[in-house]
Amino acid sequence: ATVSNNFERSENSNSDSEALQFKRAQMKRQKSYYTPSMVDDLRKRNRLYFLDPISKLRNFHSFPWKLTLQIIKLVLITVQIVIFGGQRENTVEYFERSELTYRHLLLKDWSVAYETLPYPPAAGEYAVYNMSELFDHMNAVMERYYKIPEWSLATIHLNKDNNTDKPYPITLCFRANDFIEYPNGSYVVSATVLHNCTDIHPLGRIEAGPYDVQKYLKRHNFTLPFNRTLDITLSFYLRTFHLNLVETHYGPTCYNVSITIMYTNSERSGQLLISLTSSPKEIECAGKIMSEEAARQQQSMTVQVIAFDSFVMVVCFFSTILCSRSLTRCNKLRKDTAEFFKLHKGRSFSFSNHMEYINMWYIIIICNDIFTLIGSAFKIELETRVFSISSENYEICSLMLGLGVLLTFIGILRYLGFFKSYNILILTLKTSFPHVLRFLVCAICLYTGFLFCGWVVFSPYHIKFRKLSTASECLFSLVNGDDMFVTFSALNDNTSDAIWYFHRAYLYIFISLFIYVVISVFIAVIMENYENLKHYYNEGFPDTEIQKFLKEDGEMSLSEIFRHVNRDHKWQSWLFCLFPCLSCFRRLSAPFSEIQRV
């Protein structure tokens, strides 16, 4: 019995020691052990993160670097856009007016009636309908091409061969369907498209002519298959230059202009639509075209503009660095807080809790910095003529700078939200966005149904529904109450009664539904969120899970938040010595201690 009791006691002691070792090992492996000091530090870091820069500035003497940089960047980008917009406006006007000049000089019977907007059409299509009209038009183009240096009020020259000093001829090309015709009158159309080109010259001297394209083609055994032709093009080059007399520091710009006149019959309707397009390409001007004083002035202004654009790029670069640093710190705090909730409180972070640490304003600012950096670099290349001055290059540069300035002004809304009178408006937009998005999904379904119905039914009878894109533009205009009567009255007169009545019913239902119902509900969705926010401002906002965590030990004073780490104020003293006007940010009280900013 004694032996068995000793055995039982030893067995119990062994089991107790094993349990103790297991508990110790479990405590050793436990990662959720947070001391009160660690919890307090995490709470202070979160409290500091959710403070706005105005409170940090007033209580912590923390200079608002990002806010100051955004204001400077806003001013610089606005000035840059104004300069670039004025420069591009002048260039685009020159290109557009030059193309109108080419149409008046080269196209037979061209009228100002064809220069109006496509809707409502002031005249019919500019086209030819038989071979006689087609060859007369081509002959007129050839004659005017060789005489354009004499007739034009602008400085226009023909593109000449350097060896012979003669102008290059006009190139005629055509595209046509390939088919095999049988004796019984039937034919088989092939999917193959033929393409052929030839140069056409005057029959006599260049200056005297005669200019007869038909005889020239017959003499050189070149046949145009009119019964299966898809399009005919005449192409040639002209040389000209542009000098901006208002902004002379840009200097003259020489262009080699590609002119293309196209006769289109792709629908095989017998109507050959005529169009002229010009594509200027910058070339190096030959000879000395500027005085030494003007050249020095141009060089000086170019250096100043490039220096300004470079400074904008430097500011955008530092803005990107600061915002990226803040996003990195925000992400670290998010991970630390999520780990604390998971290990210490036993519950995971929800998606909304994670999103509270993702500052979308910083992402918008970084995006606008990237767009502005690309656009500014492109602008410098245009200024230094590394990239040629053309519509395509200007489009890329303007697209980048335009998106940059748009997002820059949107980013300023973040700082306006720190003021109560503006904050409620910005919060209304923010809280309404999910509801508006769900509402738009339903509205787009209705809109798309009306769009396809109107396009399919009315496209043969109504000019506004001829294409899917124009039908969408027409319906969107009706939603805003624009051009209603014309939409009703523009239906063709030769439509059947069924189409006429359906057209009226379709428009009445669409206008009533979208103006009186859809838009009213859309406004009500936003107003409901606005009223809820006003109620929260009066009664207090409901606390989120993170805010409840911050208030677990009661409200924390700002002095308590900023007290537990020392801050070195040498940089502030150095800054206030250089900029005395910033001394207004100092407080008379003793400086608070340092804390790592999020």
H-type alpha helices, 180-291:
213-219
Distance CA 179, CA 181 (A): 7
Indicate the pLDDT class of residue 225, thresholds 50, 70 and 90.
confident
Q: What is the pLDDT of residue 154?
A: 86
Read off the pLDDT of each residue in 15-22 and give the average, rounded to a whole number. Answer: 54
For residue 160, pLDDT beyond 90: no
Q: Are strands 272-283 and 253-264 parallel, antiparallel or unpaired?
A: antiparallel
Read off the pLDDT of each residue in 483-488 and give the average, rounded to a whole number. Answer: 85
Q: What is the pLDDT of residue 566?
A: 43
Supply the Cα-derived Rg of the chain in whole angstroms: 37
Q: Where are the domains of the chain?
A: 64-106+296-418, 128-289, 422-547
Report which secondary-structure segment, H or E, holds 411.
helix 391-416
Identify whether the C-beta of residue 247 lies closer than 8 Å to the C-beta of residue 263. no
> Of 373-377, 428-432, 536-540, which one has max mean pLDDT?
373-377
> Of 60-74, 87-101, 350-364, 445-459, which one has max mean pLDDT?
445-459
For residue 193, pLDDT beyond 80: yes
Joined together, the tokens standing for residue 383 give: 């200024």
Identify whether the C-beta of residue 319 lies closer than 8 Å to the C-beta of residue 326. no
Chain centre to alpha carbon of residue 385: 25
Read off the pLDDT of each residue in 425-436 and give the average, rounded to a whole number. Answer: 83
Joined together, the tokens standing for residue 503 give: 């057209």
Work out the number of other CB atoms within 10 angstroms of the CB of residue 568.
9
Which of 230, 103, 126 has its CA nearest to residue 173? 230
DSSP 341-381: HHHTSS-PPPHHHHHTT--HHHHHHHHHHHHHHHHHHHHHH
Indicate the pLDDT class of residue 231, thresholds 50, 70 and 90.
very high
Q: What is the pLDDT of residue 204?
A: 72
Read off the pLDDT of each residue in 217-234 and give the average, rounded to a whole number. Answer: 88
Read off the pLDDT of residues 107-157 as tens digits, 9 standing for 90 and up: 988 888 787 766 666 677 899 999 999 999 999 999 999 889 888 888 888
Q: What is the pLDDT of residue 571?
A: 46
Residues 6+ apart with CB under 8 A from 316: 73, 369, 372, 373, 376
Q: How many CA atoms lie within 13 A of 472 on its CB side?
A: 8
Segment among 78-87, 386-395, 463-472, 579-588 with least mean pLDDT: 579-588
For residue 267, pLDDT beyond 70: yes
Distance CA 446, CA 443 (A): 5
- The b/e string for 573-586 (b: 16+ C-beta within 10 A; e otherwise) is eeebeeeeeeeeee
Higher-confidence residue of 550 and 518: namely 518
Q: For the chain, give the longest Cα–Cα distance.
A: 140
Instruction: Calculate what percentage of the chain has a pLDDT beyond 90.
Output: 25
Read off the pLDDT of each residue in 325-348 and give the average, rounded to a whole number. Answer: 84
Distance CA 407, CA 81 (A): 13
For residue 247, pLDDT beyond 90: no
Work out the number of other CB atoms within 10 angstroms of the CB of residue 408.
25
Read off the pLDDT of each residue in 416-430 and give the average, rounded to a whole number. Answer: 78
Q: What is the pLDDT of residue 318?
A: 92
Read off the pLDDT of residues 526-565 as tens digits, 9 standing for 90 and up: 888 888 887 777 776 767 777 777 777 666 666 666 664 4
The values of phi and psi at residue 502, to 5°, are -65, -35
Q: What is the pLDDT of residue 170?
A: 92
Q: What is the pLDDT of residue 95?
A: 86
For residue 583, pLDDT beyond 70: no
Distance CA 159, CA 292 (A): 28
Segment among 78-92, 184-198, 448-462 with least mean pLDDT: 184-198
Q: Give the relative orientation of helices 131-151 and 65-106 as an angle to the nearest 10 degrees.
A: 110
For residue 521, pLDDT beyond 80: yes
What is the SS3 assignment for 49? helix
Q: What is the pLDDT of residue 535?
A: 79
What is the SS3 assignment for 483? coil
Distance CA 396, CA 378 (A): 8
For residue 35, pLDDT beyond 80: no
Indicate the pLDDT class of residue 579, thresholds 50, 70 and 90.
very low
Q: Are strands 229-242 and 127-128 parallel, antiparallel or unpaired?
A: unpaired
Q: What is the pLDDT of residue 547?
A: 74
Higher-confidence residue of 386 and 453: namely 453
For residue 492, pLDDT beyond 50: yes
DSSP 2-46: HHHHHHHHHHHHHHHHHHHHHHHHHHHH------HHHHHHHHHHH
> Residue written as tokens 């606008």?
368
Q: Which amino acid is at 36?
A: P
- Burial of 352 (C-beta count, 10 Å sphere; 0-12/13-18/19+): exposed
Q: What is the pLDDT of residue 252?
A: 76
Residues 6+ apart with CB under 8 A from 251: 243, 290, 294, 295, 298
For residue 514, pLDDT beyond 80: yes
Q: Calculate the CA dihedral of residues 120, 124, 127, 129 and round it to 10 degrees.
A: 140
Read off the pLDDT of residues 52-69 as tens digits, 9 standing for 90 and up: 666 766 666 666 777 788
Read off the pLDDT of each residue in 419-428 and give the average, rounded to a whole number. Answer: 77
Q: What is the pLDDT of residue 555?
A: 62
Q: What is the pLDDT of residue 584?
A: 45
For residue 424, pLDDT beyond 90: no
Residues 6+ apart with CB under 8 A from 231: 174, 175, 262, 263, 264, 265, 266
Distance CA 325, CA 330 (A): 9
DSSP 144-159: HHHHHHHH-SS-EEE-
E-assigned strands of 484-537? none
Which of 261, 241, 263 has its CA nearest to residue 251? 241
Indicate the pLDDT class of residue 574, thresholds 50, 70 and 90.
very low
